[in-house]
Amino acid sequence: MKFAMLLLLAVLPAMAISQSQPASGPGLPSVAVPKTTAVLVIQTPRQGVTFEQVMAVIPDEIRATVKLYLDGKIREWYSRGDGKGVVFLLDARTADEARAMVEALPLGKAQLMNTEYIPVGPLMPLRALNPEGLQ
């Protein structure tokens, strides 16, 4: 059992890296691509946008994001540790679905933010714990 755990700990980082590669990569099995269960959204102000421009929209932005949170669309939300924007974990199945939500918000409508959409899902290397029972 100790050997299996040590082997798993040694292999998990390599499997996680392979999971992050595009599905069309050579030799990558399609099982390594997780089902999207949420979309991570990272927003930073566009170059040239001033603090005052963002703050003018913030009261409406707060009301709209609170509504999305109460409607169950925002699972988690954070300020970036460097103070340069926000991070949302949205209950969306595609980047396009998340984009539609974010672009409907006041900051999205004002086009003041750069936004990155990252679909995320279960950590697929965990299938190695019980490959037969988790297919």
What is the structure's pLDDT at 30? 55
CB of 45 closer than 8 Å to CB of 110: no
23 lies in some domain: no
21 lies in some domain: no
Read off the pLDDT of residues 33-58 as tens digits, 9 standing for 90 and up. Answer: 788 999 999 999 999 999 999 999 99
Amino acid identity of residue 44, one-letter, is T
Q: Tell me which residue range forms the domain holding 44.
A: 38-120
Task: Pull the structure tokens for residue 102.
Answer: 């974010």
Give residue for tokens 């005052």: 52
Q: Which of 94-98, 119-123, 130-134 has the highest mean pLDDT?
A: 94-98
Give the chain's mean pLDDT: 82
53 lies in some domain: yes
10 lies in some domain: no
Number of structural domains the chain divides into: 1
What is the structure's pLDDT at 126? 78
Cβ neighbours for 73, distance < 8 A, ≥ 6 positions apart = 90, 91, 92, 101
At 69, the pLDDT band (50, 70, 90 cuts) reads: very high
Regarding pTM above 0.85, the answer is no
CATH number for position 80? 3.30.70.1060
Report the sign of the C-alpha dihedral through residues 7, 10, 13, 15, in that order: negative
Which neighbouring-strand residues pair with 118?
40
Terminal C-alpha separation, the chain: 22
pLDDT at 106 over 80: yes
What is the structure's pLDDT at 128? 74
